[in-house]
Structure 1
Amino acid sequence: MSLAMVMLYDLQDIKFIPRKRPSSDPVERLADVVEMERYLNSSRTKLAASLARCRIRSGLLSIDAVLPESVRKRRERASSLPLFAWVNSLKTCLEDVCSALEAGGFSEVNGLEQLQGAAFCRDPHCRDLLAFPSRLRGRLYGSPLFIHRRLLVQDKCRTLALKCMSPLLAKGSNLLLAGALSASSIAHAAALAASHSAHVYICRASHMGPQRGELQRCLSDMGCKNVRLLPELFTELEPSDMLLYRVQVILLMPPCSASGVSDPVQFLLAESGDLDLLPGFSRGSLSSQKLADLEDRQTQYLTHAMMLPKVREVVYCTCSVRREENEDVVERALKLGGGARHQPFRVKPLALSSISMSPGGGADDPFFRTSPSEDSNGCFVAWLTMELDPEEEVQKVLERAAARGLLADGVGGVEASRPPKTTRRRRMGSVTLGTRPAARPRGSSMRQVHSQEVPEAGSQPGGSLKGPVSKRSSRRKVGKRKAAKRASKAKTGSLDPSPFLRWPRPNTVNQ
């Protein structure tokens, strides 16, 4: 039903004229969309006539007058919003994209107020974000930069949330994303994490069914190699899961009322949101029951994020201007705490030096927020960090140092757990390094000294070298006695001593 409503709205927006697509269109279309488009085009004459009768019966000048006043005002504001797209650093760089745009007939201007005609400008708050006039949407989608995924359309409020999260990433620490996420937002997070050698884990959304395979192919086309899609919902993740032990940063973008977005229908479709919210958007506001369900789900997301074992930073982002979905959710989650976690979280002001945008709530406001305007949609961002006890943190540092053997005698009551060194032995005996061997007596050879047993390892220095004679020493003594007997016989002339003596045989000349 939601798909039929969206496509019917698009059909009347183009005056019930069938949309023509080029035969070389590389975008793969879904079977459900193709079938629904075929049914609507076959009945477009009857649909146009029925819509005209309703307009005449109600005395309305145009079809836009059917919408509530609040919806019409938001649509007028949305028509003036620029089209934002970020440069995919996984496949190209900013300067190459700007050069390609200029070669394609675009001209670069200095600010958003100068966006007239075929022009573009760099966003003053996000370095890799480009802005275009919204009426150039069709032309841009057919350009090679968009077809080859070098430029990706993304709302500025999502880019701001990712920029707030980027300074929290550390080398080797992974990132977990949960909520209503588009492929462009996931790819942007993957590009920021790739510079820190980090991986990105994506939890399955409750409304994501067969779109999972399409999302995987889309991320592959965007050049994402450090992204892994998890089969579980975010609230189904177990704190004991070993996969999460390297996740230290979580970015939450739960479904919200999108009250800060000028065109909530287009935003919901672009960010892969919950399509059950579309009827409420067409009426101008969501029901009280739907708002209460959203608030409960947001609180559940934030509370579950603080329960994961190694998480140190949580970034919570919505596109709502309602306090019930922003500050109240954060306060409620902080009161509930992290379940079995002993260390509480606290709100910390965001360091937005790289974004150069001050929070709208004042200098003492720890949250970052923007209001809907002619330049961008509204958003809310909160940064929750683990509050560590200073004494306990020092104790943990000392324990890690002692475990690595950096503390020899123990410091602060922490005993060193360094294993004892293995005793090194000499090759010819069992003399322990550090003990001084006994002096060799004068007139004795080194072979005679080693024929006696040396003290065993662990004996006191200067001990006696006398002791039981080993088998090796006994064989040496027997050999020496035999050699002495042969030498004595050689002196009497009964035996040639040269083969048995250790000195070289003298050169003799027979006379």
Structure 2
Amino acid sequence: MSPTAETITHQYPHPPTRIGSAKPGGRRPSTGRRRLSRNDSVKDHFRMKYNMSSGHVQNSSVTDIDHKLKLEFFQKEPCKYSHEVFLKAAKIYSALKHDSRDERENPYLQRKNRDALAAKVQDIPHLVFTDDQEKRLVFELAFTALKYQMLFEDVLQDCSFFAQFPEFNEDSGLVMVMLCDFQSRKFQQRTPFTNETLDETAEQVEEALLQVKTRLNAALARHRIKAAAPSLDHLLPDAVRSKEELRSNMPMYVWVNQIKTTISEVIEQFKDDGYKLVDSGEKLEERQFSVDNLCNDVLMFPPESKEDLIECELLQSGKIVLQDKSSCLAPHSVKYLLGEGDDIIHVNAGSGATTAHIASLLQDNNNHIWTFGSQSTTDVQKIQKTMERLGIKGVKNLQDSFLDIEPDDPRFKNVKVILVTADCSKSGITNPIDFIVNEGEDAKILKDLSVGETDLTKLGELVGQHGNLLKHAMKCKYLVESSSSSSSSSLPSSLP
């Protein structure tokens, strides 16, 4: 039998570490993306031989052509998820997953599981991530599994997967996220990362998926043919697919942390890295960027620059911060309402990125910022960690509820502006993963966004909460006094 990409193995210089009794070993990934079928490779091989015999190939040796054919024939799709990422994504998926088809179609099961499922959604596990990149990968994989949950559940049922492997019923979340990755890589066997710590259960799930990969592939093909869908993406709801298309064309934005550097220094650094600065009105192409026409400390890049931005040294060192432009408008509005020594209150600070942006814009004004919205000590520590990484001081994060603060509290006597960042349905977000990572948003938004629907019952509650925050802000006496003694407007600022 002719060799395939799955039968070629390589010895690692440092074998991966396994948890449990799994056997050591691994495969080295190739550098290419496209995989040729055996028939395609044979056809190309004979076509090249014919061209050479006919004199159509000039200055090419047979050795070079054969080497190129081998590279194309043995190409493998790379995997970007480690076992640790699979396990974490499975926990998030299991907490947020939608009702199964049986639960949706059976009223008895709906009534029986409604309370349990509601409680489960609220109980999203607390996970510790190595860095923001791992966090992105985990939420990206969990979100993909949520989008394709109904399809993959039907596919697994068509293949009688859990009937054949009943031991994985308790690990259905892990099966789902690994299947998402498995099908995206054309059902090729995964190659472990060097020095990766492997999980025994994840290895067993992968082996089970490999055993039924022919049936899985056939089931997916049947679903596509039945729906006349050219790709799996076309099986998603129109609202979800339109956002996916919009996201692929959305530019990337970063703001310059002027506590650590200057705008001109960052611009020169990007030029040294091969980027070209163009006017803000021009359409950005690859390796180009521009300065935003509304926020002078915000730089705009084409969407294909995302990976470069995430990995660049400027971002890792805290000299720039990746954040959507919509989140940058409020800090610039606040900047023009504050004077020397004026303080600000920021309600619903989230991850602290917007608060940090305000501090960056006011670095020379000796201002203090009070933040509210932290629900636990972990939230407080998260904001403190953000401020430390960005080198920002003068931010005082309070775990108290803003609604419990007395309107005449002497601690806030110098406060001139209250910025209320409203909680909303997030239905307009096109890139929820970046929003969760950059803004510290609750991962529960992924459940609704994965099907393109908004729970209308939540909207009234969100409007009521925001109204209460605004009313309480209006009661603060220090704001009323400052507005009556100043010729400029210092009333509370609220941006949704």
**1:476-491 matches, cutoff 5 A:** none
Q: For the structure 1 residues 301 and 41, does the alpha-carbon distance in structure 2 shift closer, same or farther, using more than 3 Å as the test?
A: farther
Aligned with residue 185 of structure 1, among 354, 357, 361? 354
Secondary structure of the residue aligned to 1:275 is coil
TM-score of the two chains, using structure 1 as the length reference? 0.54
Corresponding residue for 2:155?
none
Is the 2:422–2:495 contact (alpha carbons within 8 Å) kept by the matching residues of 1? no
- Describe the SS at the equivalent of 1:257: coil
Shift of 1:97: 0.6
SS of residue in 1 equivalent to 2:362: helix
Letter of the 2:396 counterpart? R
1:214 counterpart residue number: 382
Report if the CA contact (8 A) 1:102-1:108 is conserved: yes
Partners of 2:194 and 2:418 lie apart in 1 by: 41
Matches within 5 A, 1:95-114: 95-111=264-280, 113-114=282-283
Offset at 1:174? Answer: 0.6
Task: Give 1:55 shift.
Answer: 7.0
Give yes or no for the alignment of 1:170 onto 2:304: no
Which one of 279, 292, 298 corresponds to residue 466 of structure 2? 298
- Residues 193 and 200 in structure 1, CA contact (< 8 A), matched pair in contact too: no
Are the structure 2 counterparts of residues 277 and 141 from structure 1 closer, same or farther at C-alpha, using a change threshold of 3 Å? closer
Amino acid at match of 1:134: P
Counterpart residue identity of residue 310, structure 2: Y
Partner of 1:247: 415
Distance apart, 1:214 and its partner CA? 3.1
Matched, 1:271 2:405: no
Offset at residue 19 of structure 1 (A)? 10
**Does the 8 Å CA contact 1:277/1:286 hold for their aligned counterparts?**
no
Matches within 5 A, 1:355-394: 381=495
Give yes or no for contact 1:193–1:199 (8 Å, CA) kept in 2: no
Deviations 1:155-192 (A, max 9, x none): 10111122112111122221111125333212101122
**CA distance 1:57–1:42, change in 2 (3 Å):** same
Counterpart-to-counterpart distance in 2, 1:122 and 1:152: 15
Q: d(CA) in 1 for partners of 2:395 and 2:475?
A: 23
Q: Shift in Å at residue 22 of structure 1?
A: 9.7
1:286 to 454, 469, 477: 454
Which protein, 1 or 2, shows the higher relative CO under an 8 Å CA cutoff with sep ≥ 6?
2
- Rounded Cα–Cα distance in structure 2 between residues aligned with 1:308 and 1:38: 58
1:8 equivalenced with 2:142 (yes/no): yes
Q: Secondary structure at the match of 1:283?
A: coil
Q: Secondary structure at the match of 2:444?
A: helix
Higher helix share: 2
Distance 1:143 1:192, change over 3 A: same
For the residue of structure 2 that corresponds to 1:210, the secondary structure is helix
CA apart distance, 1:193: 3.1
Secondary structure of 2:427's partner?
Answer: coil
CA contact (8 A) 2:256 2:297 kept: yes
Seen in structure 2, the aligned counterparts of structure 1 residues 184 and 40 have a Cα distance that, compared at 3 Å, is: farther
CA distance in 2, matches of 1:38, 1:219: 39
Counterpart Cα distance in 1 of 2:363 and 2:259: 9
Q: What is the count of residue pairs matched by the alignment?
A: 312
Deviation at 1:270, TM superposition (A): 2.6
Output the TM-score relative to the length of structure 2. Answer: 0.55
CA distance in structure 1 between the aligned counterparts of 2:445 and 2:408, rounded to whole angstroms: 34
Q: Following the alignment from structure 1 to structure 2, what is the Cα–Cα distance between the partners of residues 67 and 296?
A: 33
Asked if the contact 1:177/1:202 (under 8 Å) is kept, the reply is: yes
Structure 2 matches for 1:90-489, cutoff 5 A? 90-111=259-280, 113-179=282-348, 181-206=350-375, 210-312=378-480, 381=495
Of structures 1 and 2, the larger Rg is shown by: 1
Cα offsets for 1:131-176 (capped at 9, x unmatched): 1112221112222111111111111011112211211112222111
Question: Using a 3 Å threshold, how does the CA distance of structure 1 residues 305 and 51 change in structure 2: closer, same or farther?
Answer: farther
When structure 1 is superposed on structure 2, of 254-263 and 57-66 the one drifting more is 57-66
1:84 matched to 2:242? The reply is no
SS of alignment partner, residue 306 of structure 1 = helix
Partner SS, residue 293 of structure 2: coil
Match of 1:410 in 2: none
Deviation, structure 1 residue 313: 11
1:180–1:254 contact (8 Å) kept in structure 2: no
Q: 1:171 to 1:41 in 2, by over 3 A?
A: farther
Q: 1:20 to 1:306 in 2, by over 3 A?
A: farther
SS in 1 for 2:453: coil
Task: Work out the CA distance in 2 between the residues paired with 1:313 and 1:115.
Answer: 47
- Unmatched 5+ residue regions in structure 1? 24-33, 315-342, 351-366, 368-379, 383-511
Question: Residues of 2 paired with 1:88 and 1:79: CA distance?
Answer: 26
Return the alpha-carbon distance in structure 1 between the equivalents of residues 192 and 279 of structure 2: 36
Superimposed CA distance per residue, residues 357-387 of structure 1 (whole angstroms, 9 cap, x where no aligned partner): xxxxxxxxxx9xxxxxxxxxxxx948xxxxx
% identical equivalent positions: 25
The 3 A distance-change label for structure 1 pair 18 and 135 is farther
The two structures, once aligned, show a CA RMSD in angstroms of 3.8
Aligned twin of 2:162: none
Matched-pair contact (CA < 8 Å) for 1:248–1:312: no
Query: Of the candidates 71, 75, 83, which is equivalent to residue 240 of structure 2?
Result: 71
The equivalent residue for 2:39 is none
**1:275 shift after superposition:** 2.5
Counterpart amino acid of residue 302 in structure 1: L
- 1:197 and 1:268 map into 2 onto residues whose CA distance is 31
1:228-273 superposed Cα distances (whole Å, 9 cap, x missing partner) = 1112122232324321222221111121122333234542443112
Provide closer, same or farther for how the CA distance between residues 100 and 242 of structure 1 changes in structure 2, counting only shifts above 3 A.
Answer: same
The 8 Å contact of residues 92 and 142 in structure 2, kept in 1 or not, is answered as: no
- Structure 2's unaligned 5+ residue stretches are 1-90, 97-138, 145-176
Change (3 A) 1:68 1:35: farther
